[in-house]
Homo-oligomer: A and B are copies of this chain.
Amino acid sequence: MELPDPAKGENPNPDTGVAFRAIVGADDVFVDESTRQRYGRSSGPAPTLPMAVVRPASTEQVQRIVDFARERGLALHPISRGCNWGYGDARAPTAGQVILDLSRMNRIVELNRRLGYVVIEAGVTQGQLWEHLQTHAPQLWMDSTGAGPDASLVGNALDRGFGHTRYGDHTLTACGMEIVLADGRVLNTGYGHYDDAVAHRVYRYGVGPSLDGLFAQSNVGIVTRIGLWLTPVPEAFSAFFFSSPDAEALEDLIERLAPLRMNGLLQSAIHIGNDLRLLSARTRYPWDRAAGRTPLPDELRRELCAEFRIDAWTGCGTVTGTPAIVRATVRAVRRALKPHRVVFINDRRIALAHRVAGALDRFGAGARLRQQLATVDPLYRLLKGEPTRESLYGTLWRVRGELPGPVTNPLDAHAGIMWSSPVLPMTGSDARRLLSLIEPIYARHGFEAMVTFTMISERAMIAVTNLYFDTRESDEAQRAAACYDELGQTLMDHGYVPYRVGPSGTDRLRRGSAVFWDVVAQLKQTLDPHGVISPGRYEPRP
């Protein structure tokens, strides 16, 4: 590997690469153009070229890198696996930062079967933990997002991501953080700063103020390790899928399910998606049939939905407990959703369907059932916490031309992704209002209003509205950026604040009272006075 050439603007300080190599070894510092471009890619509006990429193998190496960066006035942008697609990817908020890639820090440090937790380093992936549990603790379930096996757990928890099981709110299941501060100190939260505190990984708050919240969606420290709770495999389990062909049914579905969520009968996240969202999981934009028109013409939308047997609204959730509790809860769900289509699926039914398909195959008639199983299987597994890649497929909706083989990273396929993710109270009227705000905006900019509503807690929903484009199509990318801005602006104007933003959504967060963000800036100034860590990340400018 070459030393950086400052004349090319690759690196203003020629000994930076040398210093980083002295810390992490020669093979884990990258200053070459192609690596830097790869890390700087964006599924949003603009890539940002980093100065270098450094991959430490330990907390101690992170401390030394931070010390060096602080002394030299460098900025470090930590990533765990860089799969933050649609919310910033691996890229730094601004060009010229050093990407601190924590993917080598991928040790599963501890597994406690009895108390149901693991302690993991920042680089551990969903797939890695899944495999580990299959081998070492099949009695425990993890929770997965739809980002697939290569995405990180720590990064998602810090961005307050969510999955599908009873432990779907990832903020609530992280217990105890190890954090490298900008001055090189290592902070352990919860009870982690006491030697051998026996409750360190089972009690989140510690004693005295709780600091974990400071390090979520922020840039005041580099989280290198967390504890993560796992739930025991339930004695009995049933997934349920419900749907309605009526575009107006959303409000009713939410009103029927909300009481079951609020009284604790349903403990897992419930996801409800519209037809467009489900279409994107099954096929790409039908450019030919649409004769190049966007957004998707209504007639074509109806045709595609009929072909793929997709209803206006489709949702899923899960029930766990003893067999008797699951039976009783299934009855309650069935009763609540009475006017709507609802199907309950458990391991036995899945196995049966596979056997039936096998039998039908002998008569050449199993294809239809096999196709259905191919759709349901990955989702069913995801509902049980298994990371699957199928959810990523939707991001390719607007990608033109041949795909470069099976896609594990949407950026490899030039997928443009921008999510607007407002939080709303768990009421049907809020969901309807939100739809009525976003649909005309999508249409005006030539995009499809894909949306899922996730009942994330007992009284709140997160709506993830997807905006997909092809990053190579500059006109489309520009329209996407304009659409995203208008969505964000309009939603904020109506009180629907996002749960999470990407770089181009950050500045919009500065409105209303200035005190909150002023206080955040004061705390950042206190813990990182030189702006070493990820300058710009969740720092809305006035």
On whether the beta carbons of A459 and B202 are closer than 8 Å, the reply is: yes
On whether the beta carbons of A496 and B198 are closer than 8 Å, the reply is: yes
On whether the beta carbons of A214 and B217 are closer than 8 Å, the reply is: no
* Cα A238 to Cα B460 with chains together (Å): 28
| Across-interface contacts of A264 in B (CB, < 8 A) | 166, 231, 267, 320-321
Q: Interface segment, A91-99, A127-135, A508-516?
A: A508-516
Q: Is A536 an interface residue (CB 8 A)?
A: no
On whether the beta carbons of B197 and A265 are closer than 8 Å, the reply is: no
Main secondary structure of the interface of A (DSSP, over half): loop
On whether the beta carbons of A189 and B516 are closer than 8 Å, the reply is: yes
Q: Is A205 an interface residue (CB 8 A)?
A: yes
Given A187-B515, A232-B263, A331-B324, A209 and B217 contact (CB-CB distance below 8 Å): yes
Q: Interface segment, A396-404, A438-446, A497-505?
A: A497-505
* Cα A272 to Cα B194 with chains together (Å): 27
Q: Is A423 an interface residue (CB 8 A)?
A: yes
Q: Is A458 an interface residue (CB 8 A)?
A: yes
Our pick among B214, B216, B265, B460 for the contact of A203 (Cβ within 8 Å) is: B460
On whether the beta carbons of B217 and A207 are closer than 8 Å, the reply is: yes
* Cα A527 to Cα B520 with chains together (Å): 11
* Cα A494 to Cα B495 with chains together (Å): 49
* Cα A419 to Cα B151 with chains together (Å): 45
Our pick among B194, B206, B262, B515 for the contact of A116 (Cβ within 8 Å) is: B262
Given A116-B262, A199-B423, A526-B523, A207 and B499 contact (CB-CB distance below 8 Å): yes
On whether the beta carbons of A231 and B263 are closer than 8 Å, the reply is: yes
Chain A stretch 522-537: residues in CB contact (< 8 A) with chain B: 522-523, 525-527
Q: Is A382 an interface residue (CB 8 A)?
A: no
| Across-interface contacts of A235 in B (CB, < 8 A) | 263
The residue in A166, A193, A496 that gathers the most chain B C-beta atoms within 10 A of its C-beta is A193
Our pick among B181, B208, B517 for the contact of A520 (Cβ within 8 Å) is: B208
Q: Is A332 an interface residue (CB 8 A)?
A: yes
Q: Chain A 279-321 against B: per-residue CB contact (8 Å), 1 yes, 0 no? A: 0000000000000000000000000000000000000000011
The number of chain A residues touching the other chain, given as a range, is 35 or more
Q: Is A186 an interface residue (CB 8 A)?
A: yes
Q: Is A424 an interface residue (CB 8 A)?
A: yes
Our pick among B166, B327, B500 for the contact of A207 (Cβ within 8 Å) is: B500
On whether the beta carbons of A427 and B115 are closer than 8 Å, the reply is: yes
Chain A stretch 148-204: residues in CB contact (< 8 A) with chain B: 160, 166, 171, 181, 185-189, 191, 193-199, 202-203
* Cα A71 to Cα B347 with chains together (Å): 68
On whether the beta carbons of B198 and A495 are closer than 8 Å, the reply is: yes
Our pick among B196, B425, B515 for the contact of A185 (Cβ within 8 Å) is: B515
Instruction: For residue A521, give the distance in angstroms from its CB to the closest CB of chain B.
Output: 11
| Across-interface contacts of A523 in B (CB, < 8 A) | 209, 523, 526
Given A115-B459, A262-B116, A325-B332, A209 and B213 contact (CB-CB distance below 8 Å): yes
Instruction: For residue A539, give the distance in angstroms from its CB to the closest CB of chain B.
Output: 9
Our pick among B117, B209, B263 for the contact of A215 (Cβ within 8 Å) is: B209
* Cα A310 to Cα B459 with chains together (Å): 41
The residue in A116, A218, A460 that gathers the most chain B C-beta atoms within 10 A of its C-beta is A460
Instruction: For residue A73, give the distance in angstroms from its CB to the closest CB of chain B.
Output: 22
On whether the beta carbons of A229 and B496 are closer than 8 Å, the reply is: no
Instruction: For residue A510, give the distance in angstroms from its CB to the closest CB of chain B.
Output: 10
Instruction: For residue A60, give the distance in angstroms from its CB to the closest CB of chain B.
Output: 15
| Across-interface contacts of A234 in B (CB, < 8 A) | 263
* Cα A519 to Cα B191 with chains together (Å): 14
* Cα A423 to Cα B494 with chains together (Å): 43
Our pick among B207, B232, B430 for the contact of A497 (Cβ within 8 Å) is: B207
Q: Is A371 an interface residue (CB 8 A)?
A: no
On whether the beta carbons of B538 and A499 are closer than 8 Å, the reply is: no
Known: A209-B218, A264-B267. 11 other contacts (CB 8 A): A115-B427, A193-B512, A193-B517, A199-B425, A202-B426, A203-B457, A208-B517, A214-B214, A264-B321, A265-B325, A322-B328
List, sorted by A's number, 22 A–B pairs whose CB atoms are closer than 8 Å: A115-B459, A185-B515, A186-B513, A187-B515, A188-B516, A193-B515, A197-B495, A203-B499, A207-B497, A207-B499, A207-B500, A208-B517, A209-B218, A229-B458, A231-B262, A231-B263, A234-B263, A322-B332, A324-B332, A325-B325, A325-B328, A325-B332
Chain A residues with CB under 8 Å of chain B are 114-117, 160, 166, 171, 181, 185-189, 191, 193-199, 202-203, 205-218, 220, 229, 231-232, 234-235, 259, 262-265, 267, 320-322, 324-325, 327-329, 331-332, 422-427, 430, 457-460, 492, 494-501, 509, 511-513, 515-520, 522-523, 525-527, 538, 540
